Amino acid sequence: MNSQPQRELGEVLLKAENVNLSFGGVKALNDVNFDIRKGEIRAIIGPNGAGKSSMINVINGFYHPQAGSITFKGVKRTSMKPHQAARQGIARTFQNIALFKGMSTLDNIMTGRLLKIRSGLLSQAIYWGKYQREEVEHREYVERIIDFLEIQSIRKTPVGRLPYGLQKRVELGRALAAQPDLLLLDEPMAGMNLEEKEDMSRFVIDTNDTFGTTIALIEHDIGVVMDLSDRVLVLDYGRQLADGLPDEVRNNQEVIDAYLGVSHD
Amino acid sequence: MAELDTFPKLLIDNARRIAERPAMREKDLGIWQTWSWSQVRDEVFALANGLAALGVQRGDKIAIVGDNRPRLYWSMAAVQCLGAIPVPTYQDSVAEEMTYVMEHAEVRVAIVENQEQVDKMIDIGERYPGIEHVVFDEPRGLRDYDRSALHDFEQVQEMGREYAREHPDFLQREIDAGQGSDVAIFLYTSGTTGKPKGVVLSHDNMLLTAHSSVELEGLSENDIVLAYLPMAWVGDHLFSYAQSLVAGFCVCCPESTETVQQNLREIGPTYYFAPPRVFEGLLTSVMIRMQDAAPFKQKLFHYFMDVAKRVGVRKLEGETLSTGDKLLYALGDLLVYGPLKDTLGMGRVRLAYTAGEAIGPEIFDFYRSLGINMKQIYGQTEAAVFVTIQPNGEVRADTVGRAAPGVELKINDDGEVMYRSPGVFLSYYKNDEATRKTKTEDGWVYTGDAGFFDADGHLKIIDRAKDVGKFASGKLFAPKYIENKLKFFPHIIESVTFGDGRDTCTAFINIDLGAVGNWAERNNIAYASYQELAAHPQVYAMVKESIEQVNRDLAGDEMLAHSQITRFLILHKELDADDGELTRTRKVRRPFISERYGELIDALYDGRDHCHIETEVSFEDGRKGKISGDLKIVDVETYAPLRAAG
């Protein structure tokens, strides 16, 4: 469906070099090398336990690799905390939805603006002066996201009452509210039916298109990945199996073996 | 300025007379935005000039496809400024259905809402290459599309402003050249049978109808409506476009189809239209929510709803009330009716119309007792909506009222309703045969509906003319009229009546498993299956009582007293579209049922008190099975016809 001609890729936004991560004796990531370029949709795929979520967690500073480095926007770092990653412009969604269930859609997305608020505590507490103006601006940005994700009808609904597919959408909204340079999506389509998947794919493409956001996503559904992404990284048992254009990856024998299984005799 | 006989001339007049009054509202980024009449005029003119720059000429047909959006309403006006003809199309039809309309109407330009509709236009282009330009409102997702024939709404307006600088007199000349007798719009009927037909309506048709109805109901620039019904439907075209231009009232567009109920509450329209099923759905949701309310609130609600039932309708009709009733009603309004109406978004509704199908008397009275002036109308696309309207003070649940202003009505020898009015359509586009069949030489239109006038001169619609039959005595048999009366009982979900060519009327009844099951639970009646519940003596007794009530009702009606139900049975299975007994839209397929259950019908007429039946059924997974049963047949009391009073 989306067989657009291959796009020009921008400069390198994030570079992972020889990343190694292990939990005790288990090697979750083994010498992984790849980059994410500005403006692209980058997929990370692999069978269960391949190290995909670990890779995302390394990027946003939740895990610290034992060896290797991450260079983001030209700055090299070995260890970093998640809130620092957020400050640098990395936002994410979670495999298991992590929203504030009792708060409305609007308020949940507003929390994504937290890091953009510049006025002080006092001004916020008395809702006066600078903060008042600021909140109007933030609200406007959030409304733009609500409009974009077509969730006007649930603006004031507590998130806990929403069906799964919509909660995923709200979570994407919250990540977008941070106006990230790099958006990490951890299985955005897991557990969705076909229609919800199609909707979500549309939103991922439109996000990339409208906001110019660079996106790295983990996904199980190979069909979706091949349609959506510019480049695909394949992991298997922490090892980097392949890295390239969707078509190259699709025809890579090692990838086929990893997915379909191969007899070891 | 010349006579205001076209929509564009009216727009110019409004933009001068009530320039700063709100004409249109739409919620954008969570905030309601308003356009005044003078702003609307400027937007419309910019677009009209832009369309002229794209090459649109007098007589061209321009498709308009999308949800209710201000820009799409402006498009209609802009197209009419040029003397071209807008063709609004049902936005949810698939490309295939739309292709027929586009091809039939020879559409040259399409103005559409968003990417979804643009995609359809591209699809249509493969089979019908006549669409030269597509203009879209919402640019989202369209960045990588080929732009050679695709234009952004704002760009077209920009082109228009440029064009207007080069040709300053052009648009005014075009508007002045328009006349009331010109074609204003094509409205395609959705067509339950066969291909859709393009109803051609003139400016006069729409405007004369709009003028007389605005006058009758006292609509003014202070009114406000929410436009949420399809733009391709004649009702929306009249309520949200024609009447708005004539009366100068404000039209609000909902944020999206899912937010209609919320937006209704925010806007608080004073004038509202909805088909009966919407009113029914709202009432059901209120009742369900009340059941979950605290006991005290429930008591309060039911007490005051009883007061409303007793007093409300009489108050609305302007009867004199006792001081006690007045006080009670005022208290009820404060505690219950006011908050309830506000929740429903009807806090300010002065005038509500319903039409399209029969509405249950309880539902009708519920809204009226709350003080909402709800009325039934009867209309058609071919009549530019109004054929009849219920005048204030003469509103009933079972009639559709008197002839609307300027409409002449008659019933022909076959019992079919006919009318003649200033709103009568010019023709069906490119279908002279259908035009001749529907419209007589001297302007009378066949409605296809059978009806009669009651003692007070109100029109009663009983059925589609083709479904009406005759008893052996030659008297009228209107199955759907009787079936509708039966279906108003909550425990009857479907019924089929027989009588064509017979001496008396008999009925099959289908019980509503939800309602009857609930009732059984509350009355400690055990049952294992639908079939067992349907055959339960107490269920039979309940249905018998309902039918007798219908018979009493019918006895009071001179025209239909002879069609009281004499015998009935309750079917052992639900009528089902999967078995071919209903259409997909849940209409009864009479011939099929007559054939399939022929034996049961014979039993209804030969005096047996029970009958054995074996029926094949299809399960949802496609397998077939058989169910059999012995159905009881019960006689029902009938009543002597009452002479209509007065």
A84-88, B53-57, B604-608: the lowest-pLDDT one: A84-88
Residue B258: pLDDT over 70:
yes
Contacts of A173 in chain B (CB under 8 A): none
Are B387 and B448 part of one and the same domain? yes
Domain for residue B2, yes or no? no
Contacts of B253 in chain A (CB under 8 A): none
Characterize the bridge pairing of strands B427-428 and A239-244: unpaired
A251 pLDDT band, cuts 50/70/90, is confident
Output the pLDDT for position B427.
95
Q: Is A148 on the interface with B (CB under 8 A)?
A: yes
Eight-class DSSP state of B562: G
Domain boundary among B464, B495, B528: B464
Distance CA(A107)–CA(A86), nearest Å, equals 19
Percent of residues, chain B, with pLDDT higher than 90: 69
The verdict on a CB contact (< 8 Å) between A153 and B30 is no
Are B612 and B560 part of one and the same domain? yes
Distance CA(A232)–CA(B254), nearest Å, equals 41
Kindly report the nearest CA distance between residue B343 and chain A, in angstroms: 16
Domain for residue B181, yes or no? yes
Are B188 and B207 part of one and the same domain? yes
* Structural domain boundaries enclosing B78: 7-272
- Phi, psi angle pair for B163, to nearest 5°: -60, -40
Q: What is the rounded average pLDDT of the residues B265-284?
A: 90
Output the pLDDT for position B99.
94
- DSSP assignments along B169-208, one per residue: THHHHHHHH--TTSEEEEEE---SSSS--EEEEEHHHHHH
Residue A2: pLDDT over 50:
no
Helix (H) or strand (E) holding A258: helix A253-260
Residue A76: pLDDT over 90:
no
Distance CA(A237)–CA(A253), nearest Å, equals 16
Q: What is the rounded average pLDDT of the residues B197-220?
A: 95
Are B389 and B520 part of one and the same domain? no
A5-9, B278-282, B446-450, B514-518: the lowest-pLDDT one: A5-9
Domain for residue B640, yes or no? no
Q: Note the pLDDT tens digit of each residue in B26-47.
A: 998 889 999 999 999 999 999 9
Domain for residue B583, yes or no? yes
Output the pLDDT for position B192.
55
The verdict on a CB contact (< 8 Å) between A153 and B255 is yes
Contacts of B137 in chain A (CB under 8 A): none
Q: What is the rounded average pLDDT of the residues A75-82?
A: 79
Distance CA(B286)–CA(B352), nearest Å, equals 18
Output the pLDDT for position A84.
85
Domain for residue B645, yes or no? no
Eight-class DSSP state of B439: B
> Is residue A119 packed enough to be buried (19+ CB in 10 Å), middle (13-18) or exposed (0-12)?
middle
B644 pLDDT band, cuts 50/70/90, is very low
The verdict on a CB contact (< 8 Å) between A144 and B29 is yes
Chain B residue whose CA is closest to A141 = B29
Q: Is A140 on the interface with B (CB under 8 A)?
A: yes
Residue B535: pLDDT over 90:
yes
> How many CB pairs below 8 A link A and B?
33
Output the pLDDT for position B37.
98
Residue B357: pLDDT over 70:
yes
A256 pLDDT band, cuts 50/70/90, is confident
Mean pLDDT value across chain B: 91
The verdict on a CB contact (< 8 Å) between A4 and B144 is yes
Domain boundary among B397, B432, B464: B464
Residues contacting B316, CB < 8 A, separation 6+? B368, B369, B371, B373
Q: Note the pLDDT tens digit of each residue in B550-566.
A: 999 899 888 888 999 99
Q: Note the pLDDT tens digit of each residue in B408-434.
A: 999 998 889 999 999 999 999 999 999
Kindly report the nearest CA distance between residue B92 and chain A, in angstroms: 17
Domain for residue B167, yes or no? yes
- Phi, psi angle pair for B246, to nearest 5°: -75, -50
Chain A residue whose CA is closest to B263 = A153
Domain for residue B138, yes or no? yes
Are B101 and B212 part of one and the same domain? yes
Domain for residue B644, yes or no? no
Residue B646: pLDDT over 50:
no
Are B281 and B244 part of one and the same domain? no
Q: Is A210 on the interface with B (CB under 8 A)?
A: yes
More confident residue, B132 or B522: B132
Output the pLDDT for position A3.
42
Distance CA(A17)–CA(B24), nearest Å, equals 58
Are B492 and B436 part of one and the same domain? no
Q: How many domains does chain B have?
A: 3
More confident residue, A89 or A262: A89
Residue B391: pLDDT over 50:
yes
A262 pLDDT band, cuts 50/70/90, is low
Are B311 and B173 part of one and the same domain? no
Q: How far apart are the first and last CA of chain B?
A: 52
Contacts of B140 in chain A (CB under 8 A): 148, 206, 210
CATH number at residue B221: 3.40.50.12780
Output the pLDDT for position A4.
47
Domain boundary among B444, B464, B484: B464
Are B256 and B281 part of one and the same domain? no
Kindly report the nearest CA distance between residue B261 and chain A, in angstroms: 9
Complex ipTM > 0.85:
no
DSSP tally for chain B: helices H, then strands E: 23, 29
| Rounded alpha-carbon distances, angstroms, from residue B559 to A92, B483, B556, B562, B567 | 71, 16, 9, 8, 20
Distance CA(A100)–CA(A111), nearest Å, equals 10
Contacts of B255 in chain A (CB under 8 A): 152-153
CATH number at residue B602: 3.30.300.30
Are B54 and B43 part of one and the same domain? yes
Output the pLDDT for position B1.
43
Mean pLDDT value across chain A: 87
Neighbour count for residue B629 (Cβ, 10 Å): 18
Q: Which domains does chain A have, with CATH numbers?
A: 1-89+180-265 (3.40.50.300), 102-177 (no CATH)
Q: What is the rounded average pLDDT of the residues B208-224?
A: 95
Output the pLDDT for position B253.
96
Closest by CA to B587, choosing from B466, B453, B423, B427, is B466
Output the pLDDT for position B126.
93
Contacts of A210 in chain B (CB under 8 A): 140
Residues contacting B492, CB < 8 A, separation 6+? B486, B509, B510, B511, B512, B543, B546
Are B340 and B487 part of one and the same domain? no
A5 forms beta bridges with none
Output the pLDDT for position B585.
65
Contacts of B141 in chain A (CB under 8 A): 202, 205-206, 209
* A155 closest CB neighbour out of B30, B141, B144: B30
Residues contacting B94, CB < 8 A, separation 6+? B120
Output the pLDDT for position A190.
85
Residue B317: pLDDT over 90:
no
Distance CA(B415)–CA(B430), nearest Å, equals 29
Residue A198: pLDDT over 80:
yes
Are B217 and B250 part of one and the same domain? yes
